[in-house]
Amino acid sequence: MHSITLRSPAKINLGLWVGARRPDGFHEIITTMVPLEFGDRVTVKRAETGIKLKITGIKLNIPANNNLAYRAAELFFKATGINAGCSILIHKRIPPGSGLGGGSSNAAAVISGLARLYDRSLNRTRLRNLALQLGSDVPFFLKGNPCVARGRGEKLRPINLPRLLVLLYCPGFSIATAWAYQQLDRTRRNLTAPLISPKILGLKLRRKELAGVAAQVYNSFESVVFLKYPELARIKTLLLNRGAYAASLSGSGSTVYGLLNVPDPMAELINSGLPWILTRSRPSVRLAGLGRWRKPHLRRRIGH
């Protein structure tokens, strides 16, 4: 095999509780992460030496060697001792700094693709350890299934969820995760116990008890992000008023999403010219072994 093309899905957080800062600088979190049909496309090709990275679609204003996908390739060759290289082509649609995990997803796709291209029998533990060196979310994207994440995000447990219809609002600006954590640490006076339960969330979604889902997608970052960006708070209210049974910030932002029963009540929003993306959560599959990428059948995007 000379090259491989993989889906690189976006994700949303169904609830995100941020706890205390740990001695290692990370924070304890509890969240349910769900991969989406909407995402990027990553092609990895063999090369005799060196690493080349090309990005089409959304342009990123960072040097190639600071890109997580590039760093993933560097780490793979260093860890495996393989004397070779690769070229990476990313068709980018996930906005950077949007809370949708685009960089982490790209890195996971590169690790998975290189493992297959070079027929390296890396077990799950080694792949996970490589992924964790790149970022807390990268191991999740290697799994490719909805997962409950705890610790700094590296303690993953698969969770059975029905497929979800999701409407994303991507406002066109990014929010730095480091800034969001700093603001939480600076402004919080009393740290509350977790306000969400992934177990209850999963039960309510599977039983279609949708009235109780909204409380379970509480996101700790909303207190600081909505204060600085009140338009995002208005978007959340708008989604709920238009028929979403739950709405929340994804990650530390800037994306706000709504969970829908059917898209019809949101038709006016979707066609309004704002940066809306209609998509679904992905069925449970592993990232490795997907091969050919296909467009999500439900995705519609208005604006840029």
Q: What is the CATH number of the domain that holds 204?
A: 3.30.70.890
- Is 290 inside a domain boundary? no
**pLDDT of amino acid 301:** 39
* 104 token code pair: 């982490």
Q: Which helix (H) or strand (E) holds 269?
A: helix 267-270
- Secondary structure class of 304 (helix, strand, coil): coil
In the chain, the number of structural domains is: 2
pLDDT < 70 stretches in the chain: 121, 285-304
* Residue after which a domain boundary falls, among 133, 160, 187: 160
Question: Do 218 and 138 reside in the same domain of the chain?
Answer: no
CB-based contact 42:113 (threshold 8 Å):
yes
**pLDDT of amino acid 268:** 87
Is position 143 annotated as part of the catalytic site? no
- Per the residue annotation, which of 137, 143, 204, 236 is the catalytic one? 137
Question: Do 10 and 154 reside in the same domain of the chain?
Answer: yes
Instruction: Please state whether the predicted TM-score (pTM) of the whole model is above 0.85.
Output: yes
Question: Do 119 and 87 reside in the same domain of the chain?
Answer: yes
The CATH number linked to 15 is 3.30.230.10
State how far the Cα of 151 lies from the Cα of 19, in Å rounded to an integer.
10
CB-based contact 99:174 (threshold 8 Å):
no
**What does the pLDDT look like over 181-220, one tens digit per residue?**
999 999 987 777 788 999 999 999 999 999 999 999 999 9
- Is 294 inside a domain boundary? no
Is position 137 annotated as part of the catalytic site? yes
- Is 285 inside a domain boundary? no
* 141 token code pair: 């994207």
Question: Do 145 and 180 reside in the same domain of the chain?
Answer: no
- Is 236 inside a domain boundary? yes
Question: Do 156 and 11 reside in the same domain of the chain?
Answer: yes
- Is 303 inside a domain boundary? no
- Is 237 inside a domain boundary? yes
State how far the Cα of 66 lies from the Cα of 74, in Å rounded to an integer.
11
* Residue after which a domain boundary falls, among 160, 186, 206: 160
**pLDDT of amino acid 121:** 67
Question: Do 149 and 170 reside in the same domain of the chain?
Answer: no
Question: Do 118 and 25 reside in the same domain of the chain?
Answer: yes
Question: Do 13 and 156 reside in the same domain of the chain?
Answer: yes
Question: Do 188 and 91 reside in the same domain of the chain?
Answer: no
Question: Do 94 and 129 reside in the same domain of the chain?
Answer: yes
* 128 token code pair: 């996970």
Question: Do 155 and 243 reside in the same domain of the chain?
Answer: no
- Is 134 inside a domain boundary? yes
Q: CA-CA distances (angstroms) from residue 77 to 48, 81, 298?
A: 12, 6, 37
- Is 288 inside a domain boundary? no
Question: Do 132 and 8 reside in the same domain of the chain?
Answer: yes
Domain extent for 98: 3-160
* Residue after which a domain boundary falls, among 160, 187, 213: 160
Q: What are all long-range contacts of 291-295, with beta carbons under 8 Å and residues at least 24 apart?
A: 291/4, 291/5, 291/6, 292/5, 293/5, 293/6, 293/7, 293/41, 294/7
